[in-house]
Structure 1
Amino acid sequence: MAEVHLAAGTLEYEDTGGDGPVVVLLHGVAMDGSLWRHVVADLRGEFRCVVPTLPLGGHRRPMKEDADLSIPGVAGIVADFLDELDLRDVTLVMSDWGGGQALVALGRDERIGRLVITSCEAFDNFPPGLPGSNLFTSAKMPGGLNFAFKLLKMKPMRRLPMTWGWMSKRPVPHEVMNGWFEPLWTNPEIRRDLRKYVLGVPPKEELLSWAEKLRDFDRPALVVWAAEDKVMPPEHGRKLAELLPQGELVELDDCYTLIPEDQPARLSAYIRSFLLTGKAVG
């Protein structure tokens, strides 16, 4: 893993290198870049894949104590990351985390040439669905995050609807999830960072305004949504595609929110086609 030092702290990231078009892939809460391992394996021969580990609980390097880790704050960290690595004409790909909409709304999207939004937080679905509500409740209680994630050491707990059971149709391998949760199990500063993020959700009016700002994103955009999603409503994907002036919608069956886990080959094929031809063909 490489690392980059930003005003908010140090980010670790994977960079496959090469001269191909740059694809930056972003994960969600209590995960790391390994969410994209199958997609990166498919794309790395043609594209330069850059996968940062965002400060959302799966990171190993705590952020500075005064770092802004609200949703807009993390969006700013993504923009600073692109600036620091001088990445241009980037295809920004998001899963689960919806802060990329804030990045556009804040006018920090000048380095983004194309946008790929897979099932993620949108409109006022922050924190999203039953798992998000459970996480928010835990974050408000003293020691709540520590307790909630310690429960996830018990493997059957991981498939409950209120934890990870509705995030992927197929169980994420336990060794992968162990890597995601290890920082939260062992480091109180990582739990502090996650708490700041979870409790830093702006008012509903601000969240809805971010989506409206997508009308100003005048570059190609692809929305890939899980048709059976139980956490991110499928109608949100349709609405996002309508808001984006050059938006294209693909709905995938036989998957839940974490499409990179449930349908990585199909997702990779759509991303490749979108980048090479401007149309998503699976």
Structure 2
Amino acid sequence: MTIQDHRVDADGVGLHYLRVDPPEGDGGPPVVCLHGGIVDSARCSWGGVIEPLAAGLGRPVLAPDLAGYGDSDRPVAAYSTAYHVEAVRGFCDALGLARVDLCGLSLGGGVALGLALADERVERLVAIDSFGLGTELSNGLLTWALAQAPVLNRLSLALLARSRRLARASLGSIVVDPDSVPDEAVDELFALLQREDPGHAFRQWRAAEVTRQGYATSYVPLLPELQQPVLFLHGAADEVFPPAWSERAADLAPDGECVVLDDCAHWPPRERPEAVLEQVSRFLGEA
């Protein structure tokens, strides 16, 4: 098996995606993996996981770059969570995916939840350190204030783009030990930082989603209506979105489960890939 690069037109937006096809399938639905925000891509967050996941499940695994990220188009858009939900729905439509399992990280988790609540083709769902499970800002009004000053994000990313060492060190905000992150993930992050205006889609998303009162999108009131089995996977040391969000969500969802990973923060697919593979393979393999 190898990771293949593909591209598809999803309602007028060109989306790049990675695909891994196992030599033999089990007949289950394809798994669609969605990455996070700030500066990210399918390869950056999922590159070390999708091959063994496809092999273990015996199913195709697809990982798109969200609109505005990676090698996907950068249309003029607000890049709100709702926008990304519709873009992923268009991705599934364009590829003729009648059934899917979703696995989303951070922003991608919120997008996966939004699609699962609105689209019956989603059969099972894994939400990892997910957005959309609470309104409380991670740093209170400071988070809101930073959202009002996008120039600070541009300046910080420009600084990180000057040094691979600084890029690795910056991961200390989302992992317990930056030195534990594989070189290939740091290389991908550093390459993304070299692109024109990195972080553009994230700043647009932040402008749409971060309000003085808190995050604009919260699926908490809708979780009792969630029809699909869902695994909430969360790093115990996550300081971006608290593990308590996932624990509460699992209690509210009719068929919810929560697993909290020790020695792990906000980037489990890169920080604890073996644990992520174990939990995701177990949960999706239960179908």
TM-score normalised per structure 2: 0.81
Task: Give the corresponding residue for 1:14.
Answer: 18
Q: Are 1:103 and 2:112 an aligned pair?
A: no
Asked if structure 1 preserves the Cα contact closer than 8 Å seen for 2:175 and 2:267, the reply is yes
CA contact (8 A) 1:167 1:257 kept: yes
**Which residue is 2:284 aligned to?**
275
1:165 counterpart = 2:165: no
- Alignment correspondent of 1:218: 227
Alpha-carbon spacing, 1:125–1:206, altered in 2? closer, same or farther (3 Å): closer
State the match for 1:266 in structure 2. 275
Q: What is the distance in 1 between the residues matched to 2:210 and 2:271?
A: 31
Q: Which amino acid aligns with 2:175?
A: S
The alignment's C-alpha RMSD in Å is: 2.8
Aligned residue pairs, count:
268
Gaps of 5+ in 1: none
Once the two structures are TM-superposed, the CA of residue 32 in structure 1 deviates from its matched residue by 0.9
- Residues of 2 paired with 1:256 and 1:91: CA distance? 24
Alpha-carbon offset, residue 8 of structure 1: 5.1
Q: Which residue number in structure 2 is paired with residue 117 of structure 1?
A: 127
Whole-Å separation in 2 of the counterparts to 1:205 and 1:28: 16
Structure 2 Cα separation of the partners of residues 62 and 133 of structure 1: 31
Q: CA deviation at 1:41?
A: 2.6
From the superposition, tell whether residues 133 and 39 of structure 1 become closer, same or farther in structure 2 (CA, over 3 Å): farther
List aligned pairs for 1:184-223, cutoff 5 A: 184-188=193-197, 191-201=199-209, 204=214, 207-208=217-218, 210-223=219-232
Q: Structure 1 233/142 Cα, relative in aligned 2: closer, same or farther at 3 Å?
A: closer
TM-score (norm 1): 0.83
Change (3 A) 1:52 1:137: farther
Match of 2:99 among 83, 89, 98: 89
Q: Identify which of 134, 159, 183 aligns with 1:151.
A: 159
Q: Does the Cα contact within 8 Å between 1:123 and 1:236 map onto a contact in 2? A: yes
Displacement after TM superposition at 1:93 (Å): 0.5
Distance apart, 1:114 and its partner CA: 0.3
Identity %: 24
Summarize the Cα distance change of 1:151–1:206 in structure 2 as closer, same or farther, 3 Å threshold: closer
